Amino acid sequence: MADNKASLPRRGFLKLINQVIVATGLAAILGPVVAFFWPAELEEVPSEPVAVGPVDSIPVGESKTVRFGRYPALVINTQDKGLLAYSAVCTHFACIVKWNPESGMIECPCHEGYFHPNDGSVISGPPPEPLAPISVFIEDDTLFIGGEA
Ligand code: FES
């Protein structure tokens, strides 16, 4: 009799633990599915300017990739034209492009697409269009991209 009284709370506790484990497992499985079908609201292109950092944070010949709405943007301090920004989404199959200071080109690693840093035009490879340019401006020693200049 004493064993039955003692085992009831333990049984209830084990049932509770089991339910917590099942709920955690379901959340782990369903969370990504829900996020896929109902992604967080992110603007394709932000309506407000995005701060990149201090104006001198990108030395000549270097770049910085920043979040720009739903997708990243690539900001390059070019030798010829100074600070320029482009969508970092390749116009072929939407891989993310990177600046290569050794080659002096913006490169897409997926299918060897190459873009010119001065205007985003296609140098070679399968991309059908240039990278989308993004406006750049400086205000109070801070570099911004996008929005109203
Ligand atoms: S996705 Fe960039 S070259 Fe194919």
Question: What is the C-alpha separation between 16 and 7, in angstroms, rounded?
Answer: 14
Domain limits of the chain? Answer: 1-40, 50-145
Q: Which positions of the chain have pLDDT values less than 70? A: 1-8, 39-43, 148-149
Q: Within a 13 Å sphere around the CA of 106, how many CA atoms are in the beta-carbon half? A: 32
Residues 6+ apart with CB under 8 A from 128: 91, 92, 122
Q: Looking at residue 120, what is its pLDDT?
A: 97
Q: Is the beta carbon of 127 within 6 A of some atom in ligand 1?
A: yes
Residue 99 Cα, ligand 1 centroid: separation in angstroms? 14
Taking the CB of residue 59, how many other CB atoms lie within 10 A of it? 9
Q: Looking at residue 135, what is its pLDDT?
A: 96
Residue 63 Cα, ligand 1 centroid: separation in angstroms? 20
- Superfamily (CATH) of domain 50-145: Rieske [2Fe-2S] iron-sulphur domain (2.102.10.10)
pLDDT tens by residue, 32-60: 787 777 766 656 788 899 999 999 999 99
Q: Looking at residue 6, what is its pLDDT?
A: 56
β-sheet bridge partners, residue 65: 74
